[in-house]
Amino acid sequence: MVGESREQAQPSIARYGLTISADEARDGTRKVLARKGKKLEVRIPAGVVTGRLVRLSNALQLTDGQPGDILIKVSVKQESEATDQVLEVTDGTFESEVLESNLPVVVDFWAPWCGPCRMIAPVTEKLAREYAGRLKFCKVNVDQNPLAAQKFQAMSIPLVLFFKEGEVVDQSVGAVPESQLRSKVQALLG
């Protein structure tokens, strides 16, 4: 029909923001996005930087029953001062940094592939910031430091050991609540 214009419906775009850690940005990650009772897995590629847009093409068809994309703007959480409070310890530095420390020491045995380890890391970073100067917080990558992991029997991770005067006085295994770690930290100071 000449002279008649037909309006074409534009697909909708739903916009979201997603904040990921620097490690997740470096290595890539998968996140779950919930929308209207439906869950979508979002793959964030390795090497992503703040401001990067990830498009889920025609995802609104799955969640809303209509054509459209979901557009996710990625923000990378910058390394905070808390990370500086948690010292990375190796097989070579474990004795001097932990066993010979003048302060009580909390040591987190972890691995980059361990989900529960990533859950507990922000808690240890927060506690490290709060107890700076009174306690020392360290972390040991069990994949890169097999001697320390073997010596302290880090068979299940995350394993958090509490040292006083070079001796293990308490431990915590698994992704435990902040309140549980906090009470163990306070007992270590007592």
Residues whose CB falls within 8 Å of the CB of residue 152, separated by 6 or more in sequence, listed in order:
107, 109, 159, 161, 168
Which amino acid is present at 57? Answer: S
* Contact yes or no for 148/89 (Cβ under 8 A): yes
Distances (CA, A) of 164 to 42, 101, 148, 169, 180: 43, 9, 17, 7, 18
Catalytic residue among 117, 127, 135, 142: 117
Specify whether 114 is catalytic: yes
| Interatomic CA distance for residues 98 and 64, integer angstroms | 54
Catalytic residue among 25, 59, 82, 114: 114
Specify whether 138 is catalytic: no
Q: Active-site residues: which are they?
A: 114, 117
